[in-house]
Chains A and B, each alone.
Chain A
């Protein structure tokens, strides 16, 4: 009996000590120096970690009292899971980067705070700061009229085309297609078949795998919609999938594959597309500006970049990640995080980030810097992304955005694989989207 008691006491003792030990770590911070935790979505050891480490060191050199500790949290989805876990453990990161499309979830769940207070406190300077962001990127920072995030690592879709292939079929390599009709015409000329009728080179390529189809589709929907209307309402509570214009846009994809036979059938992976382009298997591809460095390093032919061909108007999707500041931390820490965000989004920093990573700098004044001018002189193809921004709009963004992406992807694929017609696919997508969004209306 006594032994049992002793054992019990011992076990209880160990548990108590472990608990005290764990709590002790929290109490130790008593110095006036502040350490901010910054969740950044990248794999530990990835190439961007060096740049982010440098960013926080540079900041500390100017602000010795504030240390920014980056925590590398995997991909965007992993980062949300880790933020959630940290919040439940009552230890949220002070600020973090996540998709602009997550802002409705971040706001409605109380994970992030609106930043209007800080902007107002900065007075005229604050106003000028926000106005300097390009509207195509700034547009998806708002939730119910409040600013919840600051654009940082943003991207957009452009067309990469093979100039040598253009010359080969007698097209002017400096005149890429500008309309859907020209796209079909050019792609038909560029598609090359061998004697047996097998395709050696497709005219145009689009990635239709899950996670990419919805991005490319945003561009085509914007080009075809009435007045450039997007796939969703601005408040993120409604999706507009089954409009006749969107059905047409999807039908155009199917026609490229089945009617004109200038695009590979089935589903091409996002990551395979640049490889196929570099291998000369496809002459024009729709891809992210982030691939520019890869393509310019590896292309054995002259290549150009171009606006996405328009239809009723020009249009292109934007994407990428923004800064958010956490709720549930002290106002002093929130203020310190705000100062860091302004530092990281200064025109020169963003220009350098653009050059180093291929993301597009989201501020207008970044493009007036000498850094950027030198870069464009070296790499003229980079300029297109910036010039196209006035026609670009945010990708599909609603409440529960990742679920909505999946719905659109699944249904686009059902049309591509012939399970449904374009009209049926968009109708199904609409019904499934309404089901998810009804609780927010």
Chain B
């Protein structure tokens, strides 16, 4: 009896301590997720007081629409164009500044600088760089005697142009993770390798990369989910133009919900996005768990 009383007391204290964060999580994360799942099965348009249950119709409509698949394609293409380059660049930058030398602090700060700026500001600046004819890029091309490209207005160039901008911003962010990963690798390993005659590229391949395994896994997950979660730059730069060549999943959700006032479709799309995100996280953690060397 006494023992049970104590257990109750301990539990109660635990719950009380958890309560504040639990309340916020439930209100702002758990509840919206379940509400989105529910709304995804309904019709809920402008002026309707209550959603009306329609089963899977939203999903059937979406899967049957060419624009939806185009947008999924765009999102995948954009991820491919950004994740690997930003990781490679991030790792390169991290290796570059992973020394104790004069001026390294300044270099680290400048590489990290784009991360601090909000995406909205970056997109506004890059819009001027990419501006047709009078923008910096086109002026530069003209000076070199080439034709202006007007990159944002063609379906072939709009995604690479945005990806380039995003890699520039994201690499500094990923650099920080790589840097902390690199600094966790003991210097003795490199010393031992040097005695055995392995330097430079071999050391990087045989020591740095394997030991960076956990960091690589973490960074790739972050980079992939980040690239899918992007929306601000599209609102600023193109609104999905031309003909949805730059519309990504999150921007489409925003359009459905806040420009066309179709909350149900927006919710269905949110659920699809949630499933994709969960799948990425699961896949990466389950599949590659065994291949990684934890220090």
Stretch at the interface among A263-271, A283-291, A336-344, A346-354: A263-271
Given contacts A109-B48, A411-B243, contact A264 B133 (CB under 8 A): yes
Residues on A with beta carbons closer than 8 Å to the beta carbon of B150: 264-267
By the criterion CB–CB under 8 Å, are A281 and B46 in contact? no
Given contacts A276-B134, A402-B259, contact A413 B8 (CB under 8 A): no
Main secondary structure of the interface of B (DSSP, over half): loop
Residue of B46, B47, B244, B258 touching A410 (CB-CB under 8 A): B244
Residues on B with beta carbons closer than 8 Å to the beta carbon of A403: 260
B31-55 near A? 1/0 per residue, CB < 8 Å: 0000000000000011111000000
Stretch at the interface among B115-123, B181-189, B233-241: B233-241
Size of interface on A: residues with Cβ below 8 Å to B: 46
By the criterion CB–CB under 8 Å, are B261 and A81 in contact? yes
By the criterion CB–CB under 8 Å, are A281 and B134 in contact? yes
CB of A272 within 8 Å of the partner chain: yes
Residues on B with beta carbons closer than 8 Å to the beta carbon of A279: 134
Question: Bound state CA distance, A268 and B150, in angstroms?
Answer: 9
Give residues of chain A (364-421) contacting chain B, Cβ–Cβ below 8 Å. Answer: 400, 402-403, 406, 409-411, 413-414, 416-417, 419
Residues on B with beta carbons closer than 8 Å to the beta carbon of A406: 255, 259-260
Give residues of chain A (248-305) contacting chain B, Cβ–Cβ below 8 Å. Answer: 264-269, 272, 275-276, 279, 281
Residues on A with beta carbons closer than 8 Å to the beta carbon of B132: 264, 266-269, 272, 276
By the criterion CB–CB under 8 Å, are B259 and A77 in contact? yes
Residues on B with beta carbons closer than 8 Å to the beta carbon of A269: 127, 131-132
By the criterion CB–CB under 8 Å, are B153 and A267 in contact? yes
Q: Separation in Å of the B245 CB from the closest CB of chain A? A: 8
Nearest-CB residue, chain B, relative to A107? B47
Question: Bound state CA distance, A410 and B240, in angstroms?
Answer: 9
Residues on A with beta carbons closer than 8 Å to the beta carbon of B145: 196
CB of B12 within 8 Å of the partner chain: yes
CB of B105 within 8 Å of the partner chain: no
Nearest-CB residue, chain A, relative to B155? A417
Residues on B with beta carbons closer than 8 Å to the beta carbon of A272: 131-132, 134
By the criterion CB–CB under 8 Å, are A419 and B155 in contact? yes
A binding-site residues for B, Cβ under 8 Å: 1, 3-4, 7, 77-78, 80-81, 84, 87-88, 105, 108-111, 196, 198-199, 208-211, 264-269, 272, 275-276, 279, 281, 400, 402-403, 406, 409-411, 413-414, 416-417, 419
Question: Can you sample 15 A-B contacts with CB below 8 Å?
Answer: A3-B8, A3-B12, A7-B16, A77-B259, A81-B258, A84-B47, A111-B47, A272-B131, A400-B260, A402-B261, A410-B243, A416-B153, A417-B153, A417-B155, A417-B245
Other than the known A87-B47, A209-B238, A268-B132, what 6 A-B pairs have Cβ atoms closer than 8 Å?
A105-B47, A196-B145, A209-B241, A267-B152, A267-B153, A402-B261
